[in-house]
Amino acid sequence: MTRHLASLAIVLILSFVMADPGSAQQNTVDNPDLVQCYYWTNGCTPTASAMVFSYWDHYASGVGKFIHWGKLIDWYHSHDGTNNIPNLLDDLTAELGTGADGGTPMPNIRSGLLSTIESVNAYEGSVGQFHGFDDCWDALVSEIDASRPCVYSLFPETSSIGHSTAAWGYRRTMFAKFVVLYDTWDWNPVLPYPANYREDWSLRLYYGGTEPVPAREPWLHTVQLARTDTQDDDILLDQPYGGEVIPAGRPYTIQWYQWGDRIDNVTILMSRNNGLTWTQVASNVESIGAGWHSYDWDVPCVDDADVRIRVQAFDRFFVNIYVAGDGSFDECRIRRVDPVTPSGTHVDRTTVAPGGSCTLSWGASSNALSYELSENGTWRNVGTVREVTKSFASEGRYAYRVRAVGACANSAANTEVTVTVQIPLTEPTGFQASNLHPQCGEPVTLSWQPVHGAVKYELATNGEWRDIGTANNIVLRHDSDGDYAYRVRAIGRYATGPATAPIAVAVRTFCDVWPGDLDNDGAVATSDILSLATFWGRTGGSRSQGGMEWRACRTAAWVPIPATYADADGSGRVDIGDFLAVCVHWNRTHDASGGGDKATESDADPEVLAALYAQVGDAVAGPRYEIRRFLEKQLDIAPPARYALHANRPNPFNPSTCIEYDVPVQTQVRVRIFDVTGRLVREIAGRDHAPGTYKIVWNGDDEQGRSVPAGVYFCRVDAADFSGTRKMTLVK
Amino acid sequence: MKRLASCALLVASTVMFAACGKDEATDPDVGVHVTVDNAALSAAPGDTIVVVIAIANAAGFRAASFAVGFDADLLAFLSVQNDTEFMGSDGISFSERAPTGVSVGVGRIGGTAADAPGEGTLARLQFRCTSEGVAEIVLDDFRIIDIAGALCLGSDALTAIRAGVVIGDLAD
């Protein structure tokens, strides 16, 4: 039976080897980079045999995958039993040849296998023959470094649970070592193996280097090697597992699981060149007892890099003795992600009074761990908030910028905002000039009330600002005629206050007066009456030239200057003669585009206006009517509400009497005088009337202009549907 | 026995100016004439009298101002009125009390030279007689302005015209 099974095994082996006739020799590897080697020791020799076959299987298949390894294992298990092993080994050694290919001499292998089988229980191992982990590993590595594939079979001493591990490896490049470990027994179900893990055996692959991994199982990060003289002590690197992205500059937890109780501490290594060299991340990291352990690694601030992490375990009884393998069999990537600059800082107010506050805020920055706020160049961390309220006790100017704090670097600072803390400055009050109409060289004192918080003042002359110092007044002198608009404002330590309204100072020696244009607006019109009424009775210098010809008459300036123009006739007094100038040049215009002094005072004397109105109150058309309407507006005279004919005055009369009547709407009005016989004596009005109150004087004459005799007469007013009559008595 | 006084005391009732808009030097005989039509008046206390001021040879007339002096113990100034025939509907008159009497202005607002007749009633001055006596009314300081605004005669060449008023029965 045994022989039969062995033959079957050979048949199977040959069958898959021969399945690819173009592949390597059965006992050699034709790949020049792969030099086989076999290293045997005590252990599960069937496993080692399977290793060899799987190795061949792999490279014989030529597809880079362990296509048939499972078959081998299964085949092995199907022949489970001590009695079958020697036959198997015999078959294997027969197939492996004599070592002429440069690998481990087959006789040695064979003898070793046979001696093992013959002398010890293959499942229990032998302390005396066991080389221990270090030897195993060293032997394995040495074989690999010698460019020889190898098989390593390890079986822990006196293990009652039965465990065997085998390995083979090869070296392809200078730094790439591939080691495949076969764990034929599941001896610790605690491990977080995937669901498809077969409990009765496992295959674990340890690989390194940049070569493509032919077959990778998710649990292959485990290195399980055991000391020769102890219980199993294994260590599993669980995190990083490989493929992770680890943020640079931030803490990262390296986590491993360990079995047994002899591991005391670990050393964590990192390689940035794919395992060629290793640098120490941490050493003497306490790792006592079975279970999960971790180390919080402050990931360095390196640029993006592919790294590998290795955890090496050390026995507490053999300090610095390498007792366990390393993990992290796939690269993980340290990625440095710096924060972006926060969006511009916003401040809810840029000017604050002492004792006040403002709120600064800014936009979120991705990858920011916190934020730093700079106040006038001094940075301080404000945590993760993005809004800060600042209070200010005293005046000052504060510049703020914000930057994001990253794991490795801070972002650039954002745009600066400035907050000015300033005592609120008010517009200077009481701003006045001692003389608004100075002659050339005559001093003008501008003064104002001091402004709280001001450190100095500025004066604007026709819009041009200049520093005038700390005094709240200034004396000005003007060298030539001109119009000067002055404004003043307070200057604080950090801000400028609002300006006053302008004060106009007109420096004049002469004015060009157009007779009749009393307000010097360029036209003789109703508005000139206001100027007349405003300056009525004012006196000033007269001009020598007489007349009111329509031309510019140079006149010595009055105070105030607008009054100069009101003296149209140059008499030296604003009076009736000036009104005549209005009459003379009514509606005339001149070019006033050059500016000049417009009448600015409108404090028209209502008595003067009323006196003028008395002269035009009966006007129904023409310029007089224009003046009448203008004066009615000025005097706030509303049109009458209804028709009326008032009693004439005087009555009795001689030689004339005034007839007054009201017209509420625009209409045709007839005013006629009749004698006691009903005969029409005279029609004194008979045309269209605008709304208003009218006064007409009847001089006691008839249509021919002849004086009528004394007696009783009747005044009759007819307008629309109104008719009124008044009795009048002419006495002589 | 009372005796009503007749018109009396006309000292000078006519003054001649250079014609408005004309050259006095080249045309000395043509000038504006201003007269008082009723330079001698009589009235009783309480009566209203009207002094009529006429103007002639004043083509192109536009405005005039003059001072009115009178004995305030005997007369009270009431008003000045322009004449619609001479001024048209655009005429305007104005008076202002002055320390020694009244300042008077009359004129036409706007219009053209063609609108202005050269002769007519310039103004009517209305007084109330307040006490018995012989009152003199002096018209002085004339300024006659033509449509161009020219002064028809310089103010330094004025000649006063006067009117007299006998108020009450002065027979005694």
pLDDT for position A403: 95
Q: Is B154's CB within 8 Å of A546's CB? A: yes
Cα dist from A240 to A104, A203, B100, whole Å: 37, 21, 121
- Among the partner residues A581, A583, A650, nearest to B108 by beta-carbon distance: A583
* Strand partners of residue B120: B55
| A500/chain B closest Cα distance in angstroms | 42
Does residue A251 share a domain with residue A104? no
What DSSP string describes A65-84? S-SSHHHHHHHHHHT-STTH
**Strands A417-421, A351-352: pairing kind:** parallel
**In the predicted structure, residue A167 carries a pLDDT above the cut 70:** no
Q: What is the mean pLDDT of residues A112-137?
A: 34
Separation of CA A624 from chain center: 70
Residue A729 confidence (pLDDT) above 90 = yes
For residue A474, give the 3-state DSSP assignment.
Answer: strand
Rounded distance, CA A707 to CA A700, Å?
A: 6
If asked whether residues A17 and A135 sit together in one domain, one would say yes
Q: Helix, strand, coil % (nearest 5) of chain B?
A: 10, 50, 40
Q: Which of A549, A584, A585, A684 best probes binding to B when mutated, by most B CB atoms within 10 angstroms?
A: A584
Q: How far apart, in whole angstroms, are the C-alpha atoms of residue A94 and residue A110?
A: 9
Q: For A583, which of B47, B107, B151 is closest by C-beta distance?
A: B107
For the beta carbon of residue A626, count every other beta carbon within 10 angstroms.
18
pLDDT score at A182: 41
Residue A404 main-chain phi, psi, to 5 deg:
-95, 140
A340 is a domain residue: no
- Of A97 and A510, the structure prediction assigns the larger pLDDT to A510
- pLDDT of A572 higher than 80: yes
- The first and second tokens of residue B169, run together, are 């029965």
Q: Which residues contact A693 (CB under 8 A, 6 or more apart)?
A: A617, A637, A640, A660, A661, A662, A663
CA distances from B95 to A237, A539, A575, A730, B84 (A): 121, 18, 10, 26, 17
Query: What is the per-residue pLDDT for B113?
Result: 62
| Pairwise CB contact (< 8 Å): B90 & A622 | yes
* Residue A427 counted as domain residue: no
- How far CA A627 is from CA of A115, A211, A622, B104, in Å, comes to 144, 110, 9, 19
Q: What is the mean pLDDT of residues A219-247?
A: 53
Q: Which residue, of A634, A666, A696, is where some domain finishes?
A: A634
Q: Are residues A76 and A209 in the same domain?
A: yes
Nearest CA in chain A to B113: A584
Q: Cis omega (within 30 of 0) on the bond before A443?
A: no
Which of residues A593 and A375 earns the better pLDDT score? A375
Q: In one letter, which amino acid is A3?
A: R
User: What is the predicted pLDDT for the residue at A418?
Assistant: 92
Looking up tokens 């060449």 gives B157
The torsion region of residue A117 among left (phi > 0), alpha (psi -120 to 50) and beta comes to alpha
Whether A623 sits inside 8 A of B109 (CB atoms) is yes
In the Cβ-directed half-sphere of A132, how many Cα atoms lie within 13 Å?
A: 9
State the smallest CA–CA distance between residue B13 and chain A in angstroms.
22
Q: Is there a contact between A208 and A144 (Cβ–Cβ < 8 Å)?
A: no
CB A196 within 8 A of CB A99: no
Strand order in the sheet with A235-239: A222-223, A235-239, A251-258, A291-298
How close is the nearest chain B Cα to the Cα of A723, in Å? 25
CB contact under 8 A, A546 and B108: no
Query: Are A587 and A514 contacting, i.e. CB atoms less than 8 angstroms apart?
Result: no
Q: Is residue A341 part of a domain?
A: no
Alpha helices in B17-156 (DSSP H): 84-87
Band of residue A10 on the pLDDT scale cut at 50, 70, 90: very low
> Is the model more confident about A249 or about A636?
A249
Q: Are A569 and B143 inside 8 Å of each other by CB?
A: yes
Residues of A in contact with B143 (CB under 8 A): 546, 569, 577, 580
Split into its structural domains, chain A has a count of: 6
Q: Which two tokens stand for residue A169?
A: 């490896």
In angstroms, rounded to a whole number, what is the distance separating the alpha carbons of residues A583 and A624?
10
Contacts (Cβ under 8 Å, ≥6 apart) of A253: A239, A294, A295, A296, A297
| Angle (nearest 5°) at CA B89 between B83 and B92 | 60
Helix pair A527-534, A606-616: axis angle to 10 deg: 130
Q: Which of B51, B145, B147, B158 to mutate to test the interface with A (most CBs of A within 10 A)?
A: B145
A417 and A436 part of one domain? no
Residue A317 and residue A325: Cα distance in Å, rounded? 17
Q: What pLDDT sits at residue A388?
A: 95
Q: Which pLDDT belongs to residue A389?
A: 95
Looking at the fold, whether A139 and A13 belong to one and the same domain comes out as yes
* Angle between helix A84-96 and helix A45-61 axes, rounded to 10 deg: 40
Q: Kindly state the average pLDDT of the residues A4-32.
A: 27
pLDDT, one tens digit per residue, over A189-206 is 333 333 333 333 333 333
Which of B89, B92, B149 lies nearest to residue A615, judging by beta carbons? B92
Q: At A692, which CATH number?
A: 2.60.40.4070
Tell me the Cα Rg of chain B.
Answer: 17
Contact A37, A29 (CB under 8 A): no
Chain length of chain A: 732
Which residues in chain B have Cβ-Cβ distances shorter than 8 Å to A620? 89
Evaluate if residue A358 carries a pLDDT over 90.
yes
Does residue A322 form part of some domain? Answer: yes
How do residues A619-671 score in pLDDT, each as one tens digit?
777 777 788 888 887 888 887 888 999 999 999 998 889 999 998 888 889 99
Q: Is residue A720 part of a domain?
A: yes
For A617, the domain range is 508-634
* Alpha carbons A661 and A339: distance in angstroms, whole number: 92
**Domain identity same for A106 and A181:** yes
Q: Which strand (E) or helix (H) includes residue A729?
A: strand A722-730
Decide if A546 and B81 are in contact by the 8 Å CB cutoff: no
What pLDDT score was predicted for residue A267?
Answer: 85
Cα–Cα distances (Å) from A324 to A189, A237, A451, B6, in that order, read 20, 11, 84, 160
Q: Is the pLDDT of residue A341 over 90?
A: yes
Q: Is B83 helix (H, G, I), strand (E, B) or coil?
A: coil
Q: Do B93 and A615 touch (CB under 8 A)?
A: yes
Phi (first) and psi of residue A592, to 5 degrees: -110, 15
Distance CA A242, CA A270 (A): 13
Residue A607 corresponds to which tokens in the numbers above? Answer: 């008595």
pLDDT at A242 over 90: no
Enumerate the β-bridge partners of residue B165: B41, B135
> Among residues of chain A, what percentage have pLDDT more than 70?
62
Give the number of residues written for chain B. Answer: 172
* 3-state secondary structure at position A392: coil
> Could you tell me if residue A553 is inside a domain?
yes
Higher pLDDT: A476 or A480? It is: A476
Are residues A236 and A244 in contact, defined by beta-carbon separation less than 8 angstroms? no
Give the C-alpha distances (Å, rounded to integers) separating A568 from A389, A599, B116: 68, 13, 22
Helix, strand, or coil here: B155?
Answer: helix
Chain A interface includes B92 (CB < 8 A): yes
Chain A: residues touching B (Cβ < 8 Å): 515-516, 546-550, 569, 575-577, 579-587, 611-612, 615-616, 619-624, 627, 650, 654-656, 697
Task: Please give chain B's pLDDT, 172 residues, in tens.
Answer: 333 333 333 334 555 554 555 554 445 445 678 888 887 888 999 888 999 999 888 777 888 888 999 999 999 998 888 887 888 777 888 888 877 889 888 888 876 666 667 788 989 998 999 999 999 999 988 888 887 777 664 333 457 888 888 888 765 5
To which residue do tokens 């510019």 refer? Answer: A552
Residue contact B110–A549, C-beta within 8 A: no
Amino acid making up residue A344: G
C-beta atoms of B65 and A577 within 8 A = yes
Cα four-point dihedral sign A267, A270, A275, A277: negative
pLDDT digits (tens, 9 = 90+) for A413-445: 998 999 999 999 999 999 999 988 887 777 899
| Residue A228 falls inside a structural domain | no
Report the pLDDT value the prediction gives residue A113, as an integer from 0 to 100.
Answer: 39
By percentage, how much of chain A surpasses pLDDT 90?
27
Is A158 in the same domain as A298?
A: no
pLDDT of A668 reads 87
Task: Give yes or no for a cis peptide into A192 (omega within 30° of 0).
Answer: no
pLDDT at position A438 is 83
Burial of A677 (0-12, 13-18, 19+ CB in 10 A): exposed
Is position A230 within any domain? no
- Give me the pLDDT at residue A118, please: 37
What is the C-alpha separation between A175 and A173, in angstroms, rounded? 5
Structure tokens at A40: 């045997």
Neighbours of B6 (CB within 10 A): 8
Interface confidence (ipTM) of the complex: 0.72
Q: Which two tokens stand for residue A122?
A: 């293959």
For residue B53, the one-letter residue type is I
Confidence of residue A595 (pLDDT cuts 50, 70, 90): low
**Is the same domain home to A185 and A107?**
yes
Does the beta-carbon distance from B48 to A655 stay under 8 Å?
Answer: yes
Are the beta carbons of A548 and B154 separated by less than 8 Å? no
Number of Cβ within 10 Å of residue A246's Cβ equals 18
Query: Mean of the per-residue pLDDT values for chain A?
Result: 69
Q: What is the pLDDT of residues A669-710, one digit of tens each?
A: 999 999 999 999 999 887 788 788 888 889 899 988 888 999
- How far apart CA A447 and CA A468 sit, in angstroms, is 12
Contact criterion met (CB below 8 Å) for A668 and A626: no
The answer to whether the bond into A560 is cis (omega within 30° of 0) is yes
Distance CA(A671)–CA(A673), nearest Å, equals 7
Same domain, A659 and A581: no
With an 8 Å Cβ cutoff, are A583 and B64 in contact? no
Q: Is B162 on the interface with A (CB under 8 A)?
A: no
- Which chain B residues contact residue A581 at CB under 8 A? 63, 145, 149
Residue pairs spanning A and B at CB distance below 8 A:
97
Domain end call among A277, A304, A335: A335
pLDDT class of A295 with cuts at 50, 70, 90 = very high
pLDDT of residue A630: 81
- A443 and A318 fall within a common domain: no
Q: Do B89 and A655 touch (CB under 8 A)?
A: no
Q: How far apart are CA A52 and CA A150, in angstroms?
A: 9
Contact A580 B104 (CB under 8 A): no
pLDDT at B19: 52
Q: Which CA distances in Å does A263 have to A287, A293, A678?
A: 7, 11, 148
Read off the tokens for B128: 């109330």
Three-class secondary structure of residue A155 per DSSP: coil
Which domains are assigned to chain B?
Answer: 14-167 (2.60.40.680)
pLDDT of residue A393: 93
Residue A490's domain is classified under what CATH number? Answer: 2.60.40.10
Same domain, A465 and A522: no
pLDDT confidence of residue A112: 41
CA separation for the pair A341, A563 (Å, rounded): 68
> Of the residues A421, A454, A486, which one is the last residue of a structural domain?
A421
Same domain, A26 and A152: yes
